[in-house]
């Protein structure tokens, strides 16, 4: 049976992995909408290849380029944030949410309001709008499939068990490229070093988040909303080999884990085929070759981001949205060479201390916090300039 699919963020790393799997199963999928921000030529190429009904660029100034690249095809072209939301709201059985950052929130909410299956990679949207988004998911009876590898591992390990039987969820973290670096080395870390993740091939923003461990902080918040067992029952353990993608311990002390190659096509395939399984082009896991799996406590002195995330969740009142927005701005500044690596978490911490928000109860409340924190973080950043 053919299913229709929309991919928000089709030109990114998750988008490419998803389309790679769809390319291998063309007869099973009909592509409805593909979106990007401004990679117009790349988007047009994908839209032509997959016979998409519509291609949308979030940045309206890139629409002419998209139209030109789609000339002579049947693919409709559109641009701007409203067009992204309209594309997300078009009838489709399955949506992959893979825009990076809180920029994905409005389109994701449009997809949720439409209903169907939502494979969520865009963790920043859930982190910023946790209660608002989960309420909308319940209201519109959306089937949420976690695509982030850790959350997908938890989802698979939970199986048909009740959350009330869970005694602990363990999120594994690779520790990133700087896991063994001293504080002094961290101070001098460059963007090129930060995006060179030892195990995963990902977009620039999430690669920097992995290096600061903010990725794990955001995932802690994501796990709290997806699997509400209580924050004290969610722990983080550093596992440099990235073979065990996360685990669930039950009250009888059985622990179930999901293992696999560190390739996002594994969790994406589990979502695309759910509740069944599908083939992937990956090699079988060779544990004898891997030899050793090791686990360590996280070091929150050198990598304070997970502590900040826990504090943000505990303080509520929109603090996760504050943390996310401040981090997005700080990461962009780091990638642009404007601030040093260790300043990313410092800026996020400063914004959490300075900014007091009200508990957001609507999407507009969340977006207002996000927009405001971005402006204020940019002001704070001036104090941290490299030169
Ligand atoms: P990439 O940077 O590779 O891709 C991001 C995608 O979002 C691109 O299609 C990009 O378009 C689009 N985009 C960026 N900004 C905007 C905007 N303002 N409006 C509309 N579209 C936009 O990111 P990843 O694929 O690495 O990550 C996507 C999401 O998935 C993130 O939330 C990340 O945390 C999460 N994730 C990623 C994993 C990975 O392995 N990559 C693993 C687990 C989760 P354009 O090409 O035009 O810039």
CATH code for the domain in which residue 21 is found: 3.40.50.720
**With 90 as the cut, is the pLDDT of residue 382 above it?**
no
Q: Is 194 among the domain residues?
A: yes
Distance from the alpha carbon of residue 6 to the mean position of ligand 1, in angstroms: 15
Looking at the structure, tell me whether residues 77 and 20 fall in a common domain: yes
Looking at the structure, tell me whether residues 81 and 157 fall in a common domain: no
Alpha helices in 72-213 (DSSP H): 81-89, 105-114, 123-128, 130-139, 149-158, 183-187, 191-195, 204-212
Mutate to test the pocket of ligand 1, among 77, 120, 202 (most ligand atoms within 8 A of CB): 202
Domain boundary among 146, 165, 198: 146
Q: Tell me the Cα Rg of the chain.
A: 20
Q: Is 271 among the domain residues?
A: yes
Q: Is 62 among the domain residues?
A: yes
Looking at the structure, tell me whether residues 182 and 310 fall in a common domain: yes
Looking at the structure, tell me whether residues 212 and 198 fall in a common domain: yes
User: What pLDDT sits at residue 200?
Assistant: 83
Q: Is 361 among the domain residues?
A: no
- Interval 31-69: pLDDT, tens: 999 999 999 999 999 999 999 999 999 999 999 999 999
**In this structure, are residues 381 and 333 in contact, taking their beta carbons and an 8 Å threshold?**
yes
CA distance 386 to 383: 9
Looking at the structure, tell me whether residues 169 and 268 fall in a common domain: yes
Looking at the structure, tell me whether residues 142 and 11 fall in a common domain: yes
CA distance 40 to 379: 32
**In this structure, are residues 136 and 112 in contact, taking their beta carbons and an 8 Å threshold?**
yes
Mutate to test the pocket of ligand 1, among 8, 12, 105, 324 (most ligand atoms within 8 A of CB): 12
- Interval 215-258: pLDDT, tens: 999 999 999 999 999 999 999 999 999 999 999 999 999 999 99
Q: Is 367 among the domain residues?
A: no
> Whose Cα sits closest to atom 7 in ligand 1?
99
Q: Is 365 among the domain residues?
A: no
Looking at the structure, tell me whether residues 172 and 38 fall in a common domain: no
Q: Is 322 among the domain residues?
A: no
User: What pLDDT sits at residue 198?
Assistant: 84
- The mean predicted confidence, pLDDT, of the chain is 97
Distance from the alpha carbon of residue 205 to the mean position of ligand 1, in angstroms: 8
Q: Is 306 among the domain residues?
A: yes
Q: Which atom of ligand 1 is nearest to the CA of 201?
A: 40
* pTM of the predicted structure, to 2 decimals: 0.97
Confidence band of 387 (pLDDT split at 50, 70, 90): very low
Q: How many domains does the chain have?
A: 2
User: What pLDDT sits at residue 53?
Assistant: 98
Looking at the structure, tell me whether residues 21 and 58 fall in a common domain: yes
Looking at the structure, tell me whether residues 266 and 169 fall in a common domain: yes
| Nearest Cα residue to 28 out of 118, 93, 89 | 93
Looking at the structure, tell me whether residues 79 and 186 fall in a common domain: no
Residues 6+ away with beta carbon under 8 Å from 157: 246, 247, 248, 256, 257, 258
Looking at the structure, tell me whether residues 22 and 141 fall in a common domain: yes
Domain boundary among 262, 289, 315: 315
Confidence band of 199 (pLDDT split at 50, 70, 90): confident
Domain boundary among 315, 334, 364: 315
Which structural domain, as residue segments, surrounds residue 74?
3-146
Asked which of 51-60, 192-201, 330-339, 373-382 is least confident by mean pLDDT, the reply is: 192-201
- Interval 263-312: pLDDT, tens: 999 999 999 999 999 999 999 999 999 999 999 999 999 999 999 999 99
**With 60 as the cut, is the pLDDT of residue 197 above it?**
yes
What is the mean predicted confidence (pLDDT) over 85-97?
Answer: 98
Read off the tokens for 382.
């001036």
Pocket lining for ligand 1, CB < 6 angstroms: 9-15, 36-39, 58, 84, 98-100, 103, 121-124, 148, 200, 202-203, 205-206, 264
Looking at the structure, tell me whether residues 184 and 275 fall in a common domain: yes
């Amino acid at each position: 049976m053919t299913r229709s699919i929309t991919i928000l963020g089709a030109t990114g790393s998750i988008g490419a992995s998803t389309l790679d799997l769809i390319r291998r199963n063309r007869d099973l999928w009909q592509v409805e909408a593909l979106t990007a921000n401004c990679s117009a030529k790349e988007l047009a190429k994908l839209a032509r290849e997959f016979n998409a009904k519509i291609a949308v660029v979030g940045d309206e100034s890139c629409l002419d380029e998209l139209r030109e690249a789609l000339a002579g095809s049947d693919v409709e072209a559109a641009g701007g944030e409203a067009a992204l939301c309209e594309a997300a709201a078009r009838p489709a059985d399955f949506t992959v949410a893979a825009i990076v950052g809180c920029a994905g929130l409005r389109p994701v909410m449009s997809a949720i309001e439409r209903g169907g299956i939502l494979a969520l990679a865009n963790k920043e949207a859930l982190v910023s709008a946790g209660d608002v988004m989960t309420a909308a998911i319940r209201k519109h009876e959306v089937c949420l499939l976690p695509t982030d590898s850790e959350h997908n591992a938890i989802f698979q390990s939970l199986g048909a068990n009740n959350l009330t039987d869970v005694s602990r969820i363990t999120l594994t973290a690779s520790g990133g490229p700087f896991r063994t670096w001293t504080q002094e080395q961290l101070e001098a870390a460059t963007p090129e070093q930060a995006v060179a993740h030892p195990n995963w091939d990902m977009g620039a923003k999430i690669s920097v988040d992995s290096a600061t461990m903010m990725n794990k902080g955001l995932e802690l918040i994501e796990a709290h909303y997806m699997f509400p067992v209580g924050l004290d029952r969610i722990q983080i353990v550093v596992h440099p080999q990235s073979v065990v993608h996360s685990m669930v311990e039950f009250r009888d002390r059985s622990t179930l884990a999901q293992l696999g190659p560190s390739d996002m096509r594994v969790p994406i395939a589990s979502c695309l085929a759910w509740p069944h399984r599908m083939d992937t082009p990956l090699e079988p896991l060779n544990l004898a070759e891997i030899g050793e799996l090791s686990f360590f406590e996280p070091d929150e002195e050198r990598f304070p981001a997970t502590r900040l995330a826990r504090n943000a969740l505990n303080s509520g009142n929109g603090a996760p949205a504050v943390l996310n927005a401040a981090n997005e701005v700080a990461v962009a500044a780091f990638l642009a060479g404007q601030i040093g690596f260790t300043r990313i978490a410092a800026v996020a911490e400063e914004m959490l201390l300075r900014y007091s928000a009200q508990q957001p109860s609507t999407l507009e409340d969340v977006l207002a916090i996000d927009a405001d924190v971005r402006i204020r973080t940019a002001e704070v950043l001036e104090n941290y300039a490299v030169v």
